[in-house]
């Protein structure tokens, strides 16, 4: 078994690691953006595939990964984990339909509510205590899902017809363009940026660079919010105008 994840700010990585370890203590784990991931996947029959939901859709980096590696999914058994702030509709279904098209068998799906990572928008902000509670609830859901998978009845969150309608009409239809292309919306406040380079080092898209000790962004942002949550100067914003509170799963544990 291999666990494959994309995680902008750590929620999905946390859930994937917990779930995979409970299902198979010898399972390998790899980040989707690592160059060797497609080769590693090809050696395994069973895959736990995890990502955060964006506007009830796949992050662009996740969709591209699935499509660009279309030949490796044939005959694989795939269990899909989706993390979300509140609602994803058919979060697991959006990748399941693609995987099926490429010949995979869908094992099941698990939707997990986690703290919101959009650090520059007020909506969905919860107190740290509530966020800890959410992580605790997520842990319980993961344990129960892993037990069910091992006993042959894996959960099927996000995979039915009604989930599909909920995802489509609940959000995806109205925000479809947000995840269709990479974004150029990221803003870096050059007056507060101290040129530490942290954002450059962690961007999964290599979309950030340093010039004259200031960070600047290109046009290939997948909206993962990793840089905005980790900038020590709170100099990076994407959807909002000001960083309200930076999210870190590690600090909440
Ligand atoms: C651009 C963007 C769009 C998002 N859209 C949704 C959404 O439609 N529904 C939802 O419940 N959460 C949404 N979220 C919240 C994330 O899915 C959630 O916080 C997730 O657990 C983050 O995972 P990560 O830490 O692994 O990146 C969105 C987050 C981002 C950055
Ligand atoms: S992490 Fe923040 S302060 Fe450091 S280079 Fe990036 S934008 Fe500038
Ligand atoms: S620029 Fe920031 S938000 Fe965009 S992909 Fe890179 S780390 Fe993620």
> What is the tens place of the pLDDT at every residue in 198-231?
999 999 999 999 999 999 999 999 999 999 999 9
Dihedral angle sign, alpha carbons of residues 181, 165, 124, 247: negative
Nearest residue (by CA) to ligand 3, atom 8, is 224
Residue (of 117, 134, 140, 136) closest to 245 by Cα position: 117
Q: What is the pLDDT of residue 175?
A: 86
- Mean pLDDT over 93-119 rounds to 97
Q: What is the pLDDT of residue 188?
A: 98
For ligand 2, residues with CB inside 6 Å are 188, 193-199, 215, 231-233, 235-236
Ligand 3 proximity of 7 Cβ (cutoff 6 Å): no
pLDDT tens readout for residues 52-78: 999 999 999 999 999 999 999 999 999
Contact assessment for residue 193 and residue 215, using Cβ atoms and an 8 Å cutoff: yes
Q: What is the C-alpha to C-alpha distance for residues 91 and 94, in angstroms, rounded to an integer?
A: 6
How far is Cα of residue 42 from the mean position of the Cα atoms in its chain? 21
Q: What is the pLDDT of residue 132?
A: 95
Ligand 3 proximity of 215 Cβ (cutoff 6 Å): no
Q: What is the pLDDT of residue 167?
A: 84
Q: What is the pLDDT of residue 125?
A: 84
Distance (angstroms) between ligand 2 centre and the Cα of 197 equals: 6
Is the pLDDT at 43 greater than 80? The verdict is: yes
Dihedral angle sign, alpha carbons of residues 5, 125, 172, 156: positive
Task: Kindly tell me the burial class for residue 68, based on how many C-beta atoms sit within 10 Å of its own C-beta (0-12, 13-18, 19 or more).
Answer: exposed
Nearest residue (by CA) to ligand 3, atom 5, is 221
Ligand that lies nearest to the alpha carbon of residue 87, given by its number in the listed order? 1
Contact assessment for residue 57 and residue 179, using Cβ atoms and an 8 Å cutoff: yes
Residue 215 DSSP SS3: strand
Which residue carries 């060797």 as its tokens? 36
Which residue carries 């795939």 as its tokens? 78
For ligand 1, residues with CB inside 6 Å are 7-12, 52-56, 83-88, 114, 116-118, 171, 223-225
Q: What is the pLDDT of residue 253?
A: 85
Q: What is the pLDDT of residue 174?
A: 86
Helix (H) or strand (E) holding 37: helix 37-42
Q: What is the pLDDT of residue 112?
A: 98
How far is Cα of residue 135 from the mean position of the Cα atoms in its chain? 16
Ligand 3 proximity of 203 Cβ (cutoff 6 Å): yes
Q: What is the pLDDT of residue 49?
A: 98
Helix (H) or strand (E) holding 81: strand 77-84
Q: Report the predicted TM-score, pTM, of the whole model to 2 decimal places.
A: 0.96
Is the pLDDT at 177 greater than 90? The verdict is: no
Angle, in degrees to the nearest 10, between helices 60-68 and 91-101: 20
Nearest residue (by CA) to ligand 2, atom 6, is 199
- Mean pLDDT over 119-132 rounds to 90
Q: What is the C-alpha to C-alpha distance for residues 253 and 251, in angstroms, rounded to an integer?
A: 6
Ligand 1 closest atom vs CA 225: 31
Ligand 2 closest atom vs CA 189: 7
């Amino acid at each position: 078994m291999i666990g494959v994840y994309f995680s902008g700010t750590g929620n999905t990585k946390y859930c994937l690691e917990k779930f995979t370890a409970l299902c198979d203590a010898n399972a390998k784990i790899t980040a989707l953006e690592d160059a060797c991931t497609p080769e590693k996947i090809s050696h395994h029959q069973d895959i736990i595939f995890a990502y955060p939901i964006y506007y009830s859709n796949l992050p662009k980096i996740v969709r591209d990964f699935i499509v660009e590696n279309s030949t490796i999914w044939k005959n694989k058994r795939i269990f899909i984990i989706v993390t979300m702030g509140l609602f994803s509709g058919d979060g697991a279904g959006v990748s399941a339909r693609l995987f099926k098209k490429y010949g995979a068998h869908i094992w099941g799906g698990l939707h997990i509510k986690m703290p919101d990572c959009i650090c520059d928008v007020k909506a969905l902000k919860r107190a740290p205590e509530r966020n800890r509670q959410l992580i605790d609830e997520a842990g319980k859901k993961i344990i129960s899902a892993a037990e069910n998978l091992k006993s042959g009845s894996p959960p099927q969150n996000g995979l039915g017809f009604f989930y599909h309608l909920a995802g489509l009409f609940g959000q995806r239809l109205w925000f479809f363009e947000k995840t269709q292309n990479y974004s150029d919306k990221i803003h870096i406040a050059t007056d507060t940026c101290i040129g530490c380079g942290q954002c450059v080092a962690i961007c999964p898209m290599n979309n950030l660079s340093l010039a004259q000790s200031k960070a600047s962004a290109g046009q290939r942002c997948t909206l993962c919010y990793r840089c905005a949550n980790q900038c020590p100067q709170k100099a990076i914003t994407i959807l909002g105008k000001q960083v309200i509170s930076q999210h870190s799963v590690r600090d909440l544990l």
